[in-house]
Amino acid sequence: MSTRPATRAALALAAALAAAPGAAAGACPPELRARAAVTAARVEAAWRAGRPLRSLAAREWREARCVRAALVARLARRLGPVAGYKAALSTPAARARFRSDRPVLGVLLAGMLRAGPRAVVPLHTTARALFEADLMVRVGDAAALAAARTPLEAALALDALVPFVELPDALYAESVRPTGPAIAAVNAGAALGLTGPAVPLTGDAAERAARIRGVRMRLHGGTPRRLLAEGSARALGDPLGVALWLRDALAAEGLRPRRGDLLSLGSLLPPRPVRPGLMLEARYDIPGAPPAALEVAFRP
């Protein structure tokens, strides 16, 4: 049976991700590589069945990178090529909660992303679904981002802001207390996300940086609909610093963002658990652009 071109492309990208110099799978010693493959199969099975994991997928960072690379390679067979990357645990509070000494890198595949403005999500397909209103940017000049030394230089390498509601799957059972490596091993919970229209970034570095840093968000929900919370890019410290961290985390694994890649820099509010019947709307206020809203309804 022949393999479709899109599938072949996804498999090729997954292989490149795994085999890149310094990347997780390629850097795994044989004893970790075999165990990582087994763990990745277990994580994928739980992810597809919506069944919580009751034990940690990894306990240290080297093992976590091995498992994540093997997991992404498996997921890419169904979910297509890499569309971008995410930084999880972007804030000191999130890192403290999960006893992590660093943020966590995740890979976003094309099949994980849906175009907004609305989506209905069946919760029976997830282990522990969460709602995050994230700050996402798009890479315009990959070479400039690779060479950037300061946040302002990074801003010039980005060509758009993208409203983004991520619906990560915590995957671990509530009785399990995951650490940073355990979260990294399950690809930072990347599962599904809703994107709004890209808002172009123009002007000089200072103007672009000001727009990125000036993003605000209001979360509405409940019956009747009411304001639940407000957030802003300030929750991430400097979001452009997170972009540089994400660039460096990829470089450490022999990878680099490409033109058009989407970079999710973290949530503007703490992740929110969801339940059937709940409807949440994230309204983004981006300086110099009309407000954008993304709405998600959750059903059993």
What is the reported pTM?
Answer: 0.90
Q: Which residue ranges in the chain fall short of pLDDT 70?
A: 1-27
User: What pLDDT sits at residue 18?
Assistant: 36
User: What pLDDT sits at residue 27?
Assistant: 65
d(CA 214, CA 171): 32
DSSP state of 203: S
User: What pLDDT sits at residue 28?
Assistant: 78
d(CA 78, CA 74): 8
d(CA 239, CA 256): 18
User: What pLDDT sits at residue 4?
Assistant: 40
Half-sphere exposure of 123 (CA within 13 A, CB side): 17
User: What pLDDT sits at residue 119?
Assistant: 96
Q: Which domains does the chain have, with CATH numbers?
A: 82-299 (3.90.850.10)
User: What pLDDT sits at residue 3?
Assistant: 36
Give 4-48 pLDDT, tens digit per residue: 433 333 333 333 333 333 333 346 788 899 999 999 999 999 999
Give 148-161 pLDDT, tens digit per residue: 999 999 999 999 99
User: What pLDDT sits at residue 12?
Assistant: 36
Distances (CA, A) of 52 to 73, 185, 187, 242: 21, 14, 15, 29
- Give the torsion through C-alpha atoms of 143, 145, 150, 153, to 10 deg: 80
